[in-house]
Amino acid sequence: MAISPFEIYDIASTFLQHSLHLTSTLHFYARSKNEYSHGIIYVRRFSMNRNDYLLNKHLLLVDDEQELLDMVVSILNEYGFYNITTAKSIKDAVEATQKLRPELAILDVMLPDGNGFELMKQIKQYSDCPILFLTACGEDEDKFKGFDLGADDYIVKPFLPKELTFRIMAILRRSYKSENPIVKLKNSQIDFSSAQVIKNNEHIPLTAKEYDLLSALYRNAGCIVTIDALCEAAWGDNPFGYENSLMAHIRRIREKIELNPSQPVSLVTVKGLGYKLIVE
């Protein structure tokens, strides 16, 4: 598809199989006047590595255009964010803030019942969550106003998906750096910040592959993660043929996290499908 006559408006992505498989299709969206067009490329999921625990933060995304909400949600899903609430108005956003207490709010400036600056003031009455403006309002006056009100960042559309996710991660790291990202299992704990397992007061280091596999399992804690998805999380675009290596890594992980690795209670096998991480 030739998109040169169009202004690139946004880039979005969708999972082929929800959150359990990492192979993805990336859609390019372009706009001319009020008409949308799109093309498709295939990409590998971007890895956040040791900041994966931040991907579980609850995000509030506010924009009055449903298609744009869907596109941004798809981008965030592609990069590992799944705990997302959307709102299309100030009223809905304030209600969501009161009920759900988001840990980051991403706001448009132009909304049907007011503007994002007004919304930010209302959100701050109920929450001290960081604020990121994501808007087509690119004038310096708008940016200065947002920062003067206390916004943590300001991104002007169109934007690159990687830039958005990098900036979100930077905000989350600054805002929640004092948190201790420790995952409690039945007989041990995983400290993702130091890449260690803590068992019987012993600190056991994780290898890079073990860390990648546990991160993928933790992002889908309580759910089945397929063998293909785990292979792709650890070995990238061409995961085929790594099943035996995966089994060896799973065995070593169990030796680190389980009291009895031959009878696992935290990292369990779902026969014919994959594996599941059970957290406390």
Better-scored residue on pLDDT, 112 or 42:
112
Residue in the structure block whose two tokens are 């988001």: 102
- Cα–Cα–Cα angle for 186, 205, 279, rounded to 5 degrees: 20
pTM score above 0.85: no
Instruction: Extract long-range pairs of 21-26: CB within 8 Å, 24+ residues apart.
Output: 21/226, 21/228, 21/229, 21/232, 22/216, 22/229, 22/232, 22/233, 23/232, 24/78, 26/78
Q: Give the pLDDT mean for 118-140.
A: 94
The DSSP annotation for the chain comes to ---TTSEEEEEEEEESSTTT--EEEEEEEEEETTEEEEEEEEEEPPP-GGGGGGGGS-EEEE-S-HHHHHHHHHHHHHTT---EEEESSHHHHHHHHHHH--SEEEE-SEETTEEHHHHHHHHHHH----EEEEES---HHHHHHHHHHT-SEEEESS--HHHHHHHHHHHHHHHSTTS--EEE-SS-EEETTTTEEEETTEEEEPPHHHHHHHHHHHHTTTS-EEHHHHHHHHH-S--TT-HHHHHHHHHHHHHHH-SSTTS-SSEEEETTTEEEE---
| pLDDT surpasses 60 at 49 | no
Kindly report, residue by residue over 151-210, the tens digit of the pLDDT.
999 999 998 999 999 999 999 988 887 665 689 999 999 998 888 999 999 999 999 999
- By mean pLDDT, which of 51-60, 117-126, 203-212 is the weakest? 51-60
Q: Give the pLDDT mean for 26-40.
A: 39
Share of the chain above pLDDT 70, in %: 79
What per-residue confidence (pLDDT) applies to 201? 93
Better-scored residue on pLDDT, 74 or 235:
74
What per-residue confidence (pLDDT) applies to 32? 39
CA distance 54 to 105: 14
- State the CB neighbour count (10 A cutoff) for residue 235: 16
- 142 pLDDT tier (thresholds 50, 70, 90): very high
Q: Give the pLDDT mean for 100-117.
A: 95
| pLDDT surpasses 70 at 28 | no
Q: Give the pLDDT mean for 104-117.
A: 96
Kindly report, residue by residue over 220-276, the tens digit of the pLDDT.
888 898 998 898 888 876 667 888 999 999 999 999 999 999 999 999 999 989 999
- By mean pLDDT, which of 8-22, 92-106, 208-222, 265-279 is the weakest? 8-22
Q: Hey, what domains does the chain have and what are their CATH numbers?
A: 46-175 (3.40.50.2300), 182-277 (1.10.10.10)
What per-residue confidence (pLDDT) applies to 180? 56
| pLDDT surpasses 80 at 8 | no
